[in-house]
Chain A
């Protein structure tokens, strides 16, 4: 099967092929490695190298458990779930907080978070952009990851529910609490 032809296939089609055809799995890795690296670094403080180690473990786990993939679930939710579990496992060992690389943050993402956290847009947008990672680092991991998934990874409530394996109602509650925590951190930072 030609490699270029694989790029046109959907995630679910590639999963079906990946069991017998590693090039299909390689295409999936290429599709998700950037997003997952970014996700991993947004919710932990690991270096790029460590993020890539976690990423590799994520993909190895995905390959090992590929026969457990449920087609009723989106593949992206499934692979994010595996990354989430690897991050939790790594986080428990390290208990770390995010830092650096504010330049990686897209302005649109900052705007969406500013709007959701109900801040004054003009005054606080730049403040948030400058201190975003510190602000995120000051809030609990369980709030940080739902904020990252919702506003930086643009996941729906259902997708977040599938990723962190909690009911959608609980996801909504976590996001509300996360926004409140974010506001508290911003006020704290201002002082």
Chain B
């Protein structure tokens, strides 16, 4: 078949099959979709990073270092596994989208990943400064099913009385040397103190969520050396058990002795 025949044959097929060029808007729409999807992935990656940055900031590592706890345990319990998975997944998706843009093929995989990670870090930094990471973490703890349970280890690491770690909410205003609190699992404690180091507060008041470094004297008695108040909007434990018990105590209602198998002593 010579050249003229090939062009004639092609034009004949175009006419017979009524082939028409696809409209330009279809290609533009596809490009916008690819860029749009890639941008969404970068934003989600950035959100994940901002939540992780927030969690690192409020992990209270420097407070934990005062206790006898294991640094490795602390790191493992506080690792934001869920957000790491989300970040990695969306960075990979963003990279996939970048590769499918018009010029995406020109970038080597390593360069593309660096660009995408860099963009996520930049966006995540902005979100972190705007406290969006904190807001998202709080919102997820309140509203997203199973999130609180999944993230519980970061709170549980602070509930180890044998190692001098206690966390919960103060139920009554303090006397000269003690106060009552409910821990995050609904257990009740009398906390004794003698010139403790107070962080984030000047007076020990009812309603304050706290993390305490000290030593357990017995099952319901704890001596505090350092007491740190947590910001009011910061999640600090699984809510159902804690709030149930906390509200009952505040109302002065009796709490069943068999509740979590820990009878009241006070």
Contacts and interface: CB of A to CB of B under 8 A. Distances in A.
Interface stretch (A38-46, A100-108, A146-154, A164-172): A164-172
B19 A170 contact: no
B13 interface: yes
A35 B20 CA distance: 25
Interface residues of B, number: 24
B7 interface: yes
A165 B105 contact: yes
B108 A169 contact: yes
B237 to A, nearest CB: 50
A169 B4 CA distance: 39
B24 A67 contact: yes
Interface string B129-156: 0000000000000000000000000000
A64 B11 contact: no
A165 B99 CA distance: 10
Nearest to A36: B6
A159 B21 CA distance: 25
Contacts of A156: none
B64 to A, nearest CB: 46
A33 B5 CA distance: 11
Name A's interface SS: helix
Interface residues of A, number: 28
Interface in B1-33: 1, 3-4, 6-11, 13-14, 19-24, 26-27
Contact of A25 (B4, B11, B106): B11
Interface in B21-63: 21-24, 26-27
Interface stretch (A51-59, A136-144, A178-186): A51-59
B102 interface: yes
B244 interface: no
Contacts of B1: 49, 52
B125 to A, nearest CB: 29
A68 interface: yes
Contacts, number: 68
A19 interface: yes
Name the residue in B1, B4, B6, B27 with the highest tally of chain A Cβ atoms < 10 Å from its Cβ: B6
B81 interface: no
A89 interface: no
B21 A60 contact: no
Contact of B14 (A52, A63, A170): A63
Given A19-B21, A64-B19, A67-B21, A52 B105 contact: no
16 contacts: A19-B21, A26-B7, A26-B11, A33-B3, A33-B6, A34-B3, A55-B6, A63-B14, A63-B19, A64-B21, A65-B21, A65-B22, A67-B22, A68-B27, A165-B105, A167-B107
Interface of B: 1, 3-4, 6-11, 13-14, 19-24, 26-27, 102, 105-108
Q: Which 9 A-B pairs have the closest CB atoms?
A: A165-B105, A29-B7, A67-B24, A68-B27, A26-B7, A59-B10, A66-B21, A167-B108, A33-B6
